[in-house]
Structure 1
Amino acid sequence: MTLAILSALPEEQYGLSHALAERQEVHRAGRRFVQGRLQGLNVVLALSGIGKVAAATTTTTLIEHFGVEKLVFTGVAGGLGPNVQVGDVVVAQHFVQHDMDVRPLFPRWQVPGYPQPTFHCHTTLTERLHQAALRCTQAAAQWNEPLLQGHAPAVHKGLIASGDQFIVSASLSQAIHSDFQAAGLHALAVEMEGAAIAQVCADYGVDFAAVRTISDRADDAAHVDFPAFVSAVASRYALHIVAQFLSSERV
């Protein structure tokens, strides 16, 4: 059984890559993959690339070339739900593409050829990731990280929306959230890759789970908040969550 750990940013994989035993680099499809063993498990590390197409290509390569049977994604996202704050963690239960619109041929957000607009994550992997995220945020509450501004990080589970846009407008993020709410969908966060990865994993029957650290509120200050938060907080969260998740995989 081979597990892929796919991340959005190099900072999230630096510690993992150096901890691999029997480490081997492979270059394929213009991407760098690192194989090895981590906590006794066969693991492949990779960066998704930015946007849905890049993420889909990376995911397909992991499945086709490396025979991956489970995939876990870590990354950052903008908070969309009203109670989702910077420093919180969102564990995905399902994904939707907020920029998919083939009306009137298909309902809004539904990808043609699929029965519904949402792609679901694997229940067991998601629960393990949720438990790992809870342990991480409990630890983070003791870090006294200035960027958290005294906020006690929370963990949320639910819908994450993906699209080929870096959302930096409060009015746009509110419009996306309101449109989903009107349709009975409650999106907690917005990012650029997860729905594409979920779709590829659904096509291949590969178990998939994902976690996103909230780096900003997808508003007019997002471009300022994002870089500092990634280097100081998100990378630390990712390593902690993955380590906890791998421990549960070995049980």
Structure 2
Amino acid sequence: MSDVALIMALPNESKGLFEQAGIQVHYSGIGKVNAAFKAFEVIQKTGCKTLINLGTAGSTYFDKHELVEVSQFVQRDMDVSPLGFAVGFTPFDTMHPAEIHLERYFEHLPSGICGTGDSFETGTPKVPCQLVDMEGYAIAKVCKKLRVRILSVKYITDGANDTAHLDWEENLLLGAQKLLSLYQGLK
């Protein structure tokens, strides 16, 4: 797996378990700008052919504690609708104006559309999606532009509701354990 790199948003999401297992994790920090910068940096420095994005997400569709493979990323906070564009659509971007489709790898997992935005979602997103995060779309866009394969699996920590911030924190360790087990199964 020397041509594979692993990216997660925060050390909280791995709880140190990946490092204890000798797995290098690149942490992007929170949000689309940090994620895009780190994804670009990781690809440039490692020369990886596949970037695996593991992390947490909220969902009103999937159950808590479920692992979900992302089949498509959309931007839930891109809103240029006053100029006549659909919410989620990036005007004048000819490569990926709205959705970024990912190939499936983990056929045993359910899959879903992930809406990425620079906010901790606690309600219904403006764009159709089954789970929400804060980094995935940006990572996927960098990968697509640089022709690097992207795989993404999210652990559902919360229901993207008014208790999401509490549920997220409470469910991180179990999420890290499940994500580590999945990643170790790749070898």
Both structures adopt the same fold (TM-score exceeding 0.5): yes
Question: Which residue is equivalent to 1:41?
Answer: none
Q: Say if 2:159 is the partner of 1:217.
A: yes
> Distance in 2 between the 1:241 and 1:120 partners?
21
Q: Say if 2:107 is the partner of 1:107.
A: no
SS at match of 1:93: strand
Question: Which residue is equivalent to 1:236?
Answer: 177
> Distance in 2 between the 1:201 and 1:5 partners?
13
> Distance in 1 between the 2:90 and 2:15 partners?
31
> Distance in 1 between the 2:17 and 2:101 partners?
29
Question: Which residue is equivalent to 1:25?
Answer: none
CA offsets 1:80-105 (integer angstroms, 9 cap, x no match) = 32xx1111122100100100012326
Match of 1:53 among 27, 33, 36: 33
User: Is the contact made by 2:15 and 2:172 (CA closer than 8 Å) also made in structure 1?
Assistant: no
* TM-score (ref. length: structure 1): 0.67
User: Is the contact made by 1:13 and 1:45 (CA closer than 8 Å) also made in structure 2?
Assistant: no
Question: Which residue is equivalent to 1:120?
Answer: 101
In the TM superposition, what is the alpha-carbon distance from 1:164 to its structure 2 partner? Answer: 0.3
The number of residue pairs the alignment matches comes to: 182
What amino acid sits opposite 1:164 in the alignment? Answer: D
What amino acid sits opposite 1:66 in the alignment? Answer: T
What amino acid sits opposite 2:18 in the alignment? Answer: L
Question: Which residue is equivalent to 2:51?
Answer: 71
**1:52-201 matches, cutoff 5 A:** 52-81=32-61, 84-103=62-81, 104=83, 106-112=85-91, 113-114=93-94, 115-121=96-102, 123=103, 126-127=104-105, 129-131=106-108, 155-168=109-122, 173-174=123-124, 176=125, 179-180=126-127, 185=128, 187-201=129-143
In the TM superposition, what is the alpha-carbon distance from 1:130 to its structure 2 partner? Answer: 4.0
> Distance in 2 between the 1:220 and 1:70 partners?
36
In the TM superposition, what is the alpha-carbon distance from 1:7 to its structure 2 partner? Answer: 1.5
> Distance in 1 between the 2:41 and 2:179 partners?
23
> Distance in 2 between the 1:200 and 1:62 partners?
11
Q: Could you say what the CA RMSD is over the residues aligned between the two structures, in angstroms?
A: 1.9
User: Is the contact made by 2:117 and 2:133 (CA closer than 8 Å) also made in structure 1?
Assistant: yes
In the TM superposition, what is the alpha-carbon distance from 1:54 to its structure 2 partner? Answer: 0.6
User: Is the contact made by 1:90 and 1:188 (CA closer than 8 Å) also made in structure 2?
Assistant: no
Richer in strand (by share): 1
What amino acid sits opposite 1:18 in the alignment? Answer: Q
Q: Say if 2:6 is the partner of 1:10.
A: no
In the TM superposition, what is the alpha-carbon distance from 1:10 to its structure 2 partner? Answer: 1.7
Richer in helix (by share): 1
**Structure 2: gaps of 5 or more residues:** none
What amino acid sits opposite 1:5 in the alignment? Answer: L
What amino acid sits opposite 2:151 in the alignment? Answer: A
Compared CA separation, residues 70 and 228, structure 1 to 2 (3 A): same
> Distance in 1 between the 2:32 and 2:133 partners?
10
> Distance in 1 between the 2:5 and 2:156 partners?
22
> Distance in 2 between the 1:70 and 1:207 partners?
4
Compared CA separation, residues 46 and 13, structure 1 to 2 (3 A): farther
What amino acid sits opposite 1:101 in the alignment? Answer: D
What amino acid sits opposite 2:179 in the alignment? Answer: A
